[in-house]
Amino acid sequence: MQAAIVNRLFLGGIGAGLLSFAVLAAFPAEAYLAFVSNEKSNSVSVVDTDKMTTIKTIPTGQRPRGIAASKDGALVYVALGDDDTISIIDTKALRVVGELPSGEDPEQFVISPNGKTLYVANENDAAVTVIDLATRGAIGRISVGVEPEGMAVSPDSATLICTSETTSMAHFIDAASHQVVANLLLPSRPRFSAYKSDGSELWATSEIGGVLSIIDPAAHKIKETVSFEIPGVRRELIQPVGVNLTKDGKLGFISLGPANRVAVVDGRTHNVLKYLLVGQRVWHGEFTPDEKYLVVANGLTNDVSFIDVAALKVVKSVQVGELPWGVAILPQ
């Protein structure tokens, strides 16, 4: 961000030196932009993570949910479930500038670590559509289980994971050949999965099963099942959804939906360390690039919670649009 600001100042024809130093002092290093999809209000809220305020609301098409930034941070993609498309938002102009051919009813998608390919689950079609981001065209379609939703790609971009809700499986797909190479039965209604950055583990949540499965992705086997117990919260309200793992793999944050909490899970022992009280019906979240904060979307309280990752504390709630669902944060 520092470099970017300096650059922009140069481009703007304003002198360097003292002036840019003064601006830098006014903008601390952690100022990132978070883009929050609002499922109900058909918009994306832009949140300044340093000031912790919503600075702009971008109108989109209908039912925006899955959201992610391009690797260079120039674009944010948001899946519009009721418009059967993925909108492209220009992160400088802060407006919709194009769309991708997502197939029917897109909810979640993932961009490969090399930034070239976008994989989107088509819930109504039991399929995954593969999109080449350079040409913005669909280059493949993969048949999977009933109601595919959660998408993940291995850190080496070689394996694609799709979890299907009614089939209750994780499908391991070879990213090069688009062939399903293995299927793993998971506890009821898997919603989401995420790799550890070293590729050693895949963490998958089961919304109705109420658990987190720690999967050995090489063996295609569940090696451990993590369950959650919160005093005073009924078991059926514990519905794990979003997963965010720190880059060093030491901590995992599991959004527990209507339990209104994010569970902090030890990356090594898989013990639950803490439950953080956030807003109601917490869905998905994203770290700031420096991993100082995890920003999670609270579906029923129309806000995002900022979790201080070092302190494991919720430090702030910021109002966004109606029924926020997902968060994308620009890499710089």
Partner 1 sequence: MSGEGSGERRREGRRSRCGEAHGPDGVFWRVRNLLASLANRGAEPVRRTPALQPHRRALWALAAAAFLIQYEPALSLAAEQQEIAIGYLRETRPKVSLSLIDLPAPNNGVAGALLAIDDNNTTGRFNGQGFALADATLAPDEPDPGRTLDMLAEKGAAFVIADLSAATLLKAADAARARRMTLLNIGAPDDRLREEDCRADVIHVAPSRGMLADGLAQYLVWKRWSRWLLLSGSHDSDKRFADALRRSARRFGAKIVAEREFVDTGGARRTDSGIAEIQRQMPAATQGAPDYDVVMAADESEVFAGYLPYRTWDPRPVAGSAGLVPTSWDAAFDQWGAVQLQSRFARAFRRAMTALDMNAWTAARMIGEAAARTNSNDPSVLGAYLRGPDFSVAAFKGQALTIRGWNLQLRQPILLFDGRNTVSVSPQEGFLHPLTTLDTLGADQPETRCKLQ
Query: Binding segment for partner 1 among 8-16, 160-168, 268-276, 303-311 (CB under 8 A)?
Result: 160-168
Kindly tell me which residue out of 168, 205, 244, 260 binds partner 1, with binding defined by CB under 8 A. 168
Contacts of 269 (CB under 8 A, 6+ apart): none
Total residues interacting with partner 1, rule: CB under 8 A? 29
> Smaller CB distance to partner 1: residue 160 or 318?
160
Whose tokens are 């194009």? That residue is: 98
**Residue 318 to residues 77, 179, 235, Cα–Cα distance (Å):** 22, 42, 28
Q: Which of 45, 85, 87, 167 binds partner 1 (CB under 8 A)?
A: 167
Q: By C-beta, is 234 or 268 nearer to partner 1?
A: 234
User: Residue 189, interface with partner 1 (CB under 8 A)?
Assistant: yes
Alpha helices in the chain (DSSP H): 2-11, 18-26
Rounded to a whole number of angstroms, the minimum distance from the CB of residue 331 to partner 1 is 31
DSSP string spanning 65-119? EEEEE-TTSSEEEEEETTTTEEEEEETTTTEEEEEE---SSEEEEEE-TTSSEEE
Q: Which of 108, 217, 239 is nearest to 173 (CA)?
A: 217
> Which positions from 293 to 332 touch partner 1 by CB under 8 A, shown as an x/- string?
----------------------------------------
Q: Which of 147, 201, 286, 303 binds partner 1 (CB under 8 A)?
A: 147
- Per the CB < 8 A criterion, the answer to whether 109 and 118 are in contact is yes
Selected binder of partner 1 within 32, 33, 102, 171 (CB under 8 A): 171
Q: Binding partner 1 by CB under 8 A: which of 188, 197, 200, 319?
A: 188
Least Cβ distance, residue 36 to partner 1 (angstroms): 21
CA distance 90 to 112: 20
The β-bridge partners of 35 are 46, 328
β-sheet bridge partners, residue 99: 87
Per rule CB under 8 A, is residue 169 in the interface with partner 1?
yes
Span from 94-102, 165-173, 211-219, 320-328 in contact with partner 1 (CB under 8 A): 165-173
Report the amino acid identity of residue 199. G
232 touching partner 1, by CB under 8 A: no
- Using CB under 8 A, which of 73, 210, 240, 285 touches partner 1? 210
Closest approach of Cβ 104 to partner 1, in Å?
Answer: 9
Nearest distance from C-beta of residue 167 to partner 1, angstroms: 4
Q: Within 80-139, which residues bind partner 1 (CB under 8 A)?
A: 105, 123-124, 126
Contact at 8 Å (CB) between 295 and 8?
Answer: no
CB of 206: closest distance to partner 1 in angstroms?
A: 9
85-90: strand order across its sheet: 64-69, 75-80, 85-90, 95-100
Residues near 38 by Cβ (< 8 Å), separated by ≥ 6? 44, 45, 64, 302, 320, 321, 322, 323, 324, 325
Q: Can you give the binding site for partner 1, defined by CB under 8 A?
A: 105, 123-124, 126, 143, 145-147, 165-169, 171, 179-180, 182-183, 185, 188-189, 208-210, 234-237, 239
